[in-house]
Amino acid sequence: MEPYRIKVVEPLAITTRAQREEALKRVAYNPFDLRADEVTIDLLSDSGTGALSAAQLAAGMNADESYAGSRSFYRWHAVVSELTGYPHILPTHQGRAAERILFAALLEPGSTVLSNTHFDTTRANVELTGCQARDLPCAEAADLDSDYPFKGNIDLSALQQALESAQESPVSAVVMTITNNGGGGQPVSMENLRQTAELCRRHNVPMILDAARFAENAWLVTRREPGYQDRTPRQVSEEAFGLADGCIMSAKKDGIVHIGGFIGLKDPELAEKCNGLLIATEGFSTYGGLAGRDLDMMAQGLLEVTEPTYLAERAEAANYLAERIRAVGVDIVEPAGLHALYLNAGRLLPHIPPHQYPGTALVCELYLRGGIRSAELGSLYLGEEDDQGNPVKSAPYELVRLALPRRVYTRSHYDHVAQTLADIAKDPSSVHGYRIVGQSPILRHFSIQLEPVKSAG
Ligand code: F0G
């Protein structure tokens, strides 16, 4: 059961089918453009959407808003230092600011960054510095149905090869994303982190953790990795941070706050460079784009997030929803992670070709039938068409992500999600595809405009 009870509630927007049809048409079938109060269950992201605890709110009330050297900063600094062990810690307003600052200070233009899988802003920030971002997911990740426990791992032999051929294309950093959000929310094993760290050390390349979901990764390590059953998520987290040369963190996930992030580093010179950029673009070193109350609430959130009772329930809730979804005959990326479930829309809607976006079709159907907002991770996100709209590249899988905000929805909300999927799965052939009628050249899935295609082909 949830290891907390509810003290403050927020009404859900209960809408009619007619209202949802009108809303979806108005936003050209792009759920990013819906007003949130047109959504009943919002599973668009687990980022910044968690519920604060009473202790976090109290910490926020006790915050110090001094411009420099606030009490809040020192309290926050002590918590983050103890968790990560890094001697140099800089606050940022969110994860992508940490990425931008660290990459500007660390990466050599023209070089390559290797990763188990870059998150999309991480990739964009690597490319903005004139570098190439290469993903090297382990081979097991390609089989969506297998229950291999660590599909978030990097492919160690591909990594070794890339590091050894660095004369042609120098490698500036290896970024390990825990858990692997782009790869189905799958965890990375400690063994894989250790071997990656060893390879990086041998080639003198820094290993950086993208630690947005470090606690969830640690929880799955304690459940799935031999030798870790008796360790606490906190101990596993500390070990993971210790293996790396530094981290970038979006605290909007496992900091359980609405805004916040940080950079942690071992290297004092690199930290000094980052600090200069931080002051110029985010804020002074003791607030980095955050209010004192944000720092205090993050400090408290970072303590709560590694609590075994919290993590056990989070995993249970995700498993509960996963079980119900499997039971209605909809496949998900296995095994279920914690922060999101990824629906296999391509398999549910085989009559919709990739360039009519089966993922989008399922996203729209979930909204129309249940007021549920989700995100496509398929050919709308990763595919390409030529100027005439003819398909050039489609995504390897057509997925839909149901992200699970922290401490927000209960099992009966998840029952509603499963019931909506059950209704869709009863007659999938009635679901139709979509075609693009407008898009922007960068990160198109945020601004795409679509219209329904009523007949296949
Ligand atoms: N790294 C990972 C693994 C992420 O999932 C995200 C954000 C970021 C970095 C960027 O952090 O949003 O604080 O700037 N992921 C969100 C999501 C947006 O919905 O998965 P940010």
Q: Give percent of the chain above pLDDT 90.
A: 91
- Residue 188 tokens read as 């990375």
Distance between CA 204 and CA 8 in Å, rounded? 51
Residue 174 forms beta bridges with which residues? Answer: 114, 207
pTM of the model as a whole? 0.96
Question: Ligand 1 pocket: which of 42, 117, 119 to mutate (most atoms <8 Å of CB)?
Answer: 119
SS3 81: helix
Total residue count of the chain as it appears in this document: 457
Residue 37 known to be catalytic: no
pLDDT digit string (tens) for the chain, length 457 residues: 899 999 999 999 999 999 999 999 999 999 999 999 999 999 999 999 999 999 999 999 999 999 999 999 999 999 999 999 999 999 999 999 999 999 999 999 999 999 999 999 999 999 999 999 999 999 999 999 999 999 999 999 999 999 998 777 799 999 999 999 877 899 999 999 999 999 999 999 999 999 999 999 999 999 999 999 999 999 999 999 999 999 999 999 999 999 999 999 999 999 999 999 999 999 999 999 999 999 999 999 999 999 999 999 999 999 999 999 999 999 999 999 999 999 999 999 999 999 999 999 999 999 999 999 999 999 998 888 887 778 889 999 999 999 999 999 999 999 999 999 999 999 999 999 999 998 877 777 788 899 999 864 4
User: pLDDT over 70 for what percent of the chain?
Assistant: 99
Report yes or no: 75 and 296 within 8 Å, Cβ to Cβ. yes
Residue ranges, comma separated, of all CATH 3.90.1150.10 domains in the chain are: 17-39+307-453
pLDDT of the residue at 455: 65
- Cα separations (Å) of 409 from 35, 293, 414? 19, 25, 7
Among 113, 196, 117, smallest CA distance to 151 is for 117
Residue ranges matching CATH 3.40.640.10 in the chain: 54-304
**253 CA distance to ligand 1 middle (Å):** 8
Ligand 1 binding pocket (C-beta < 6 A) is 45, 47, 94-96, 119, 121-122, 177, 181, 210, 212, 250, 252, 261, 403
Give residue 95 CA to ligand 1 midpoint distance, Å: 6
Distances (CA, A) of 33 to 19, 38, 400, 436, 447: 15, 10, 17, 15, 8
Atom nearest to 339 CA in ligand 1: 20
The string of pLDDT tens digits covering residues 205-234 is: 999 999 999 999 999 999 999 999 999 999
Q: For domain 54-304, give the fold.
A: Aspartate Aminotransferase; domain 2 (3.40.640)
210 given a catalytic annotation: yes
Would you give the DSSP letter of residue 232? -
CATH number assigned to the domain covering 17-39+307-453: 3.90.1150.10
Give the closest residue (by CA) to ligand 1 atom 19. 45
Query: Given CA atoms 181, 182, 186, 187 in this order, what sign does their dihedral have?
Result: negative
**Digit-coded pLDDT (tens) for 311-350:** 999 999 999 999 999 999 999 999 999 999 999 999 999 9
